[in-house]
Amino acid sequence: MPTPAFRRPLAAAGLLAGLLAVTAADPSVAAVPDDSVGRVLKADVAFLQKNLADAKAAKWGSPLRGVALNVAAYAAASKDAVLLEQANKVLAALAGKKPDVAAALSVAKAMAPKGGAGGKLDVPAGVTADIHDVMNVFALERSGGQNIDKDLKTQSKAVTDVALAELIAARSAAAGVYTLKAEVEFDAGKKTKAKWEKWSQDMITASEKAAAEAAKGAKANKADVAKSLSSLLGSCNACHEVFRD
């Protein structure tokens, strides 16, 4: 999927040195229900284990790193130090032009999320991310992504799968956190810092609302979930209109 123009730092310390630096600042910038944290961690770890074992894994480095970044964010939020360290190792193994898929898979197989204690999301300290990886989790499954963009468009019209809507929202909340704190190439025209921060925060807010309602499961108000997902899609589209190249 097309991505915006971002400023890469001259020297980015951290896990993926030389890539886009994203660092923690506020104690938390997004809140997701505890149960949602547990479910998205379980789903994303399973995704890593499955896709890293796929013959195409070496071609899917970017979206796989994006999923690992989300696992890192939720592991930090739930204070699961072991899982956070494992996510960092997966990211390290997948870094560069020749990712070590076997090493990443070995680590992923050992992942066992504790659950969803605490859903306060921020960029984990010491993690350095490429915004392209963050965005590529939204790509189609055949491209190694999690199909979020396609599913978001469908579920925002009418929620047919509350569990899927919850995952879309939780994953988008994590992506929003990374996006909000990314270093972006702004200009004096349309690509302003104010617009970037507004649409990033709108992404987070809509994701929080959708996740909070969808976490109720069978008792969730599907119309409310769809409304929040529609707002999420709107913020994504508005941002892409300006910042995508």
- Alpha carbon distance 81, 72 (integer Å): 9
DSSP 215: T
Statement: the pTM of the whole predicted model exceeds 0.85? yes
**Contact yes or no for 128/17 (Cβ under 8 A):** yes
DSSP 6: B
pLDDT tens digit string along 107-163?
999 999 987 666 678 999 888 889 999 999 999 999 999 999 999 999 999 999 999
**Contact yes or no for 210/165 (Cβ under 8 A):** yes
Whole-number mean pLDDT of the chain?
87
Which of 8-12, 137-141, 183-187 ranks highest by mean pLDDT? 137-141
- In the chain, % helix, strand, coil (3-state, to 5) comes to 60, 5, 35
- Using CA atoms, how far residue 21 sits from 40, 95, 112, 151, in Å, is 25, 14, 28, 29
Q: What is the CA radius of gyration of the chain?
A: 17
- Using CA atoms, how far residue 20 sits from 10, 65, 91, 173, in Å, is 9, 13, 14, 19
Bridge partners (DSSP) listed for residue 161: none
pLDDT tens digit string along 196-239?
999 999 999 999 999 999 999 999 999 999 999 999 999 999 99
- Alpha carbon distance 192, 245 (integer Å): 15
**Contact yes or no for 122/204 (Cβ under 8 A):** no
Which residues have a Cβ under 8 Å from the Cβ of 45 and sit 6 or more positions away? Answer: 71, 83, 108, 111, 112, 113
Quick check: 6 pLDDT over 70?
no
